[in-house]
């Protein structure tokens, strides 16, 4: 099995809000910026390990079953890395939103996304209500 078969999640120490603290103040934005940058770095390192592994582990198996297994493992790994490349793009978009002052507010309704939601998913662009509505609409389209 390929060593990099895990999805990289952000590592962080939770931010300790103080009473009366303004939403998306400089300290919060810097905390989220560092979280995003660390997550991006972790993803890039994992992608590098994958490339290194795939270059070093390519073998021509005589047994067709072994060859098929290796090809399937590589295929799964490449799909995982593609999702992570997309995530890196979202991280970069979030970093640009922090720089422009638009970060932390729902792109649909404009309200605060919510601190704990952003800390759990720092690339979130919608509040939980708008995201839930989107998911309901998507499910209805699929039914």
- Model confidence pLDDT, tens digit, residues 16-63: 888 889 999 999 999 999 999 999 999 998 887 776 666 666 666 777
In this structure, which topology does domain 26-105 adopt according to CATH?
A: 1.20.120
Q: Which pLDDT score, from 0 to 100, does residue 7 have?
A: 57
Q: Which pLDDT score, from 0 to 100, does residue 77 have?
A: 80
Q: Is 43 in a helix, a strand, or coil?
A: helix
Q: Which pLDDT score, from 0 to 100, does residue 52 have?
A: 64
HSE of 4 in the Cβ direction (CA atoms, 13 Å)? Answer: 23
Distances (CA, A) of 134 to 6, 13, 26, 122: 28, 30, 30, 18
Residue pLDDT, tens place only, 77-134: 888 888 999 999 999 999 999 999 999 999 999 999 999 899 999 999 999 999 999 9
CA angle 77, 80, 85 (to 5 degrees): 125
pTM here is 0.77
Q: Which two tokens stand for residue 62?
A: 């005589």
CB 123 within 8 A of CB 87: yes
Q: Which pLDDT score, from 0 to 100, does residue 96 have?
A: 97
**Is it the case that residue 1 has pLDDT exceeding 50?**
no
Provide the H-helix boundaries in 58-127.
64-100, 115-120
Q: Is 19 in a helix, a strand, or coil?
A: coil
DSSP one-letter code for 44 = H
Q: Which pLDDT score, from 0 to 100, does residue 64 have?
A: 76
């Amino acid at each position: 099995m390929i060593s990099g078969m895990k999805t990289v999640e952000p590592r962080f120490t939770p931010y300790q809000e103080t009473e009366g603290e303004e939403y998306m103040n400089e300290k919060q934005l810097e905390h989220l910026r560092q979280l995003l940058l660390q997550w991006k770095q972790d993803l890039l390192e994992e992608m590098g390990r994958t490339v290194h592994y795939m270059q070093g582990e390519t073998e021509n198996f005589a047994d067709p079953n072994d060859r098929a297994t290796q090809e399937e493992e590589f295929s799964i790994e490449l799909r995982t890395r593609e999702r992570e490349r997309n995530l890196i793009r979202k991280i970069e978009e979030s970093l640009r939103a922090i720089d422009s002052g638009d970060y932390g507010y729902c792109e649909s309704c404009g309200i605060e996304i919510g601190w704990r939601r952003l800390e759990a998913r720092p690339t979130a662009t919608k509040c939980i209500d708008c995201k839930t509505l989107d998911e309901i609409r998507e499910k209805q389209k699929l039914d």
